[in-house]
Amino acid sequence: MKINEDSRQRSRPVHHTRITDIDFSRKTINRKTDTLVYAMGGLGEVGKNMYCFEHDDEIIIIDCGVLFPGESLPGVDYVIPDWSYLVKNQAKIKAMIITHGHEDHIGAIPFFLQSIHLKEIYAPRFAKALIEKKLEEHRLLRNCRILTIDEASHIQTKYFDVGFYNTIHSFPDSLGVFVNTPNGRAVETGDYKFDFTPIGEKSDFQKMAYMGQIGVTLLMSDSTNSGVPGFSISERKVAATLLEQMRKTPGRLLVSTFASNVMRLNQILEGAVSCNRKVAIFGRSMENVVEIARKNGVIRIPDDSFITGNELNTLPPNRICIVCTGSQGEPMAALSRIANGTHRFLKIIPGDTVIFSSNPIPGNATSVGSVVNKLTRIGANVIVNSPLTSLHTTGHAPQEEQKLMLNLIEPKYFMPIHGEYKMLVQHAYTAQVCGIDPERCLICSNGDIVVMRDGECFIANERIQTDAVYVDGNDASGLSTLVVKDRQILANSGMVAVIVTIDSRYNRILCRPSIVSRGFVYIKDNQTLLKEAEVLLYDALKTKMQQRITFNDIKNTIRGSLEPFLYQKTKRNPIVIPVILNQKAAMEELQNKQMHRA
């Protein structure tokens, strides 16, 4: 266990010293001597985690994740961080470090590598395999080396000395990170929980306690479950519950869980095999994870325990276990297609048992409930997680486990990360209960800069510009952001098209404009409004066209006149689309002039 103690003295919270009593030169940044800590994503949201440490001419990055869009972002595949600041400073980037392989920590890497040249990414074994598969799909595998790290690894740059410690999460090989800097030691927990009877690796209590003994300046800790009291259920209890349910189920068994919950998948598969059931996997993401987990030795189920969809009818019902995606009611996931009767291989037979080994993510309860109702209607026995069934446990620390982390690390300053704003505030309150001065709890937003200076921390009066970038297909340029805003306007206020006929030879409008509306107002009941708008535009264009103008001037006049009028009358802002029709003779004259110039 190598933790750089150098000449730093042990740091303990000094509760009688208020941060306002310390002179920080009005909270300005000295970029040569200060260490800067900031988030490109992950604060005020659950997803797109990306945290950066910067000192002089070096930057190290921890995680690079996506956020999955909700219904308010129609057509968007992913939301990724805006890393334009890192593009400008890419010569400073010395390392990207991954804590584990969930999408909200690795999903944005292919898009990142399209914008920024990076030689190496450091990732735990299982995360490395997933990243390599992603890069292979995007044809980027040759652009960057993926190096394996574990709890004994060590990364050294000119200013940063980085080490790791084991944590428990719903994903194998999860790591926490400690970063020794010229201005103090920071610890970033990654996603974690404490399980005293885990399946797999144990938490590295000794290393965490040792860091607390030698002094931690800043703790950055997962806040996802900061509003959940108590301790989490052990994965062993969930495994025992699933095994008992499999043993007493007489017919076919369908189990749906998160494809990314590798440890749970392993429990389900091992339980099925021990009950003499063959396993069929449905769902592309789950098939990929199972394949990688088997290659890496996380899942050790023999080949003859797996069957394909075509083989389902060759076995008696009590010999079959189907594991599938769709635990969150996703419309295109395997379980939703099974519930709708549109799955290629599988139809529900009355007497089938369906187990949801998950909890609905906030916002998904309605879609999950809809799938449950459909399955029940066609004869399935549906069992969902509850305090009585214990079919699921979280991968994130509730309040009592957060207190354990705080007491092990004993940080001087605390920065809650990975959570919505309410979660960050609740985590900060938990830290205060554990004895950390409220003035030393730094609740930040994406782009805020925490300055580490000589063992002290403060939020600077500067910010890094960062925003959400919407990815539509494989476009990570940010242009899709504008497209999505148009979609939202169309969904909320509709569209108005204005058709104008002109003769550009004489700079003259030939007739009153025609207005066509879709999704804005019901045309039959609003003829008067549209006629008024046509007259308004006609007068505005006649006045404007008394001088020589361009097609763009005409479009700007239409928008500038019509948009305020429509908002005044309806309190809505539809998209206004000008359509300009030029007289045929005028168009021919324009084309002749252009050819003559060429």
Task: Give the type of residue at 560.
Answer: G
Q: Residue 586 belongs to what H/E stretch?
A: helix 584-597
- Residue 90 pLDDT > 90, yes or no? yes
pLDDT confidence bin for 472, thresholds 50/70/90 = confident
The number of beta carbons lying within 10 Å of the beta carbon of residue 467 is 13
Residue 591 Ramachandran class (φ > 0 left, ψ -120 to 50 alpha, else beta)? alpha
- Angle value at C-alpha 110, between 108 and 111, nearest 5 degrees: 65
Q: How far apart are CA 222 and CA 233, in angstroms?
A: 18
Q: What is the pLDDT of residues 274-332, one digit of tens each?
A: 999 999 999 988 999 999 999 988 899 999 999 998 899 899 999 999 999 999 888 88
Query: Which region among 82-86, 181-185, 249-253, 568-572 has the lowest average model confidence (pLDDT)?
Result: 568-572
Is residue 213's pLDDT more than 80?
Answer: yes
Interval 371-413: pLDDT, tens = 999 999 999 999 998 888 889 999 999 999 999 999 999 999 9
Residue with tokens 């392989």: 101
Structural domains for the chain: 19-230+395-471 (3.60.15.10), 235-383 (3.40.50.10710), 494-597 (3.10.20.580)
Mean pLDDT of the chain: 88
Mean pLDDT over 526-538 rounds to 88
Please write the tens of the pLDDT for every residue from 410-442. Answer: 999 999 999 999 999 999 999 999 999 999 999
Residue pair 289/260 in contact (Cβ under 8 Å)? The answer is yes
Quote the DSSP letter at residue 20: G
Angstrom CA distances, 555 to 463, 493, 517, stand at: 37, 20, 17
- Of the pLDDT bands very low, low, confident and very high (cuts 50, 70, 90), residue 468 is confident
Greatest mean pLDDT among 99-103, 463-467, 525-529, 551-555 = 99-103
Alpha helices (H) in 249-377, listed in sequence order: 262-274, 284-295, 334-340, 365-377
Tell me the pLDDT band of 590, cut-offs 50, 70 and 90: low
The reply to whether the predicted model has a pTM over 0.75 is: yes
Cβ-based neighbours of 559, under 8 Å, separated by 6 or more: 576, 578
Q: What is the pLDDT of residue 594?
A: 67
Say how far apart CA 84 and CA 275 lie, in whole Å. 53
Of 195 and 7, the structure prediction assigns the larger pLDDT to 195
Distance from C-alpha of 58 to C-alpha of 96, rounded to nearest angstrom: 12
CA 378 to chain centroid, in Å, comes to: 35
Measure the CA–CA gap between 319 and 249, rounded to whole angstroms.
Answer: 10
Strands 50-55 and 58-62: antiparallel
Mean pLDDT of 488-506: 84
Q: In the numeric block, which tokens belong to residue 584?
A: 């045929």
Q: Between residues 543 and 521, which one has the greater pLDDT?
A: 543
Task: Supply the pLDDT for residue 474.
Answer: 60
Q: Of the candidates 427, 356, 392, which has an alpha carbon nearest to the alpha carbon of residue 46?
A: 427
pLDDT at 150: 95
* Pick from 417, 483, 418, 427: nearest CA to 450: 417
The residues annotated as belonging to the active site are: 222, 396
Sign of the four-CA dihedral 255, 68, 168, 43: negative
Q: Which pLDDT score is estimated for 331?
A: 84
In this prediction, residue 18 carries a pLDDT of 42
Q: How confident is the model at residue 206 (pLDDT cuts 50, 70, 90)?
A: very high
Q: Is the predicted pLDDT of residue 7 greater than 60, yes or no?
A: no
- CA distance from start to end of the chain: 73
Q: Is the pLDDT of residue 10 over 80?
A: no
Q: Is 265 exposed, middle or buried (0-12, 13-18, 19+ CB in 10 A)?
A: buried
Instruction: Kindly state the average pLDDT of the residues 541-548.
Output: 86
Structure tokens at 244: 């008992």
Contact 50/83 with Cβ under 8 angstroms?
yes
Which tokens hold the place of 406? 């705080």
Confidence of residue 480 (pLDDT cuts 50, 70, 90): low
Q: Check residue 482 and give its pLDDT.
A: 65
Contact 202, 168 (CB under 8 A): yes
- DSSP for 343-370, written as a single string: -SS----TT-EEEE-S-PPTT-HHHHHH
Q: Which residue type sits at 201?
A: E
Rounded distance between C-alpha atoms, residue 259 and residue 102, angstroms: 10
CA distances from 221 to 408, 438, 455 (A): 12, 16, 19
pLDDT of residue 9: 38
Q: What does the pLDDT look like over 317-365, one tens digit per residue? A: 999 999 999 998 888 889 999 999 999 888 999 989 999 999 887 667 8
Q: Per residue in 111-163, pLDDT tens?
A: 999 989 998 999 999 999 999 999 998 888 888 999 999 999 999 999 999 99
pLDDT of residue 481: 64
Name the pLDDT band for 11 (thresholds 50, 70, 90): very low
Of the two residues 585 and 505, the one the predictor is more confident about is 505
DSSP assigned state of 191: S
Closest C-alpha to 156, from 181, 174, 124, 176? 181
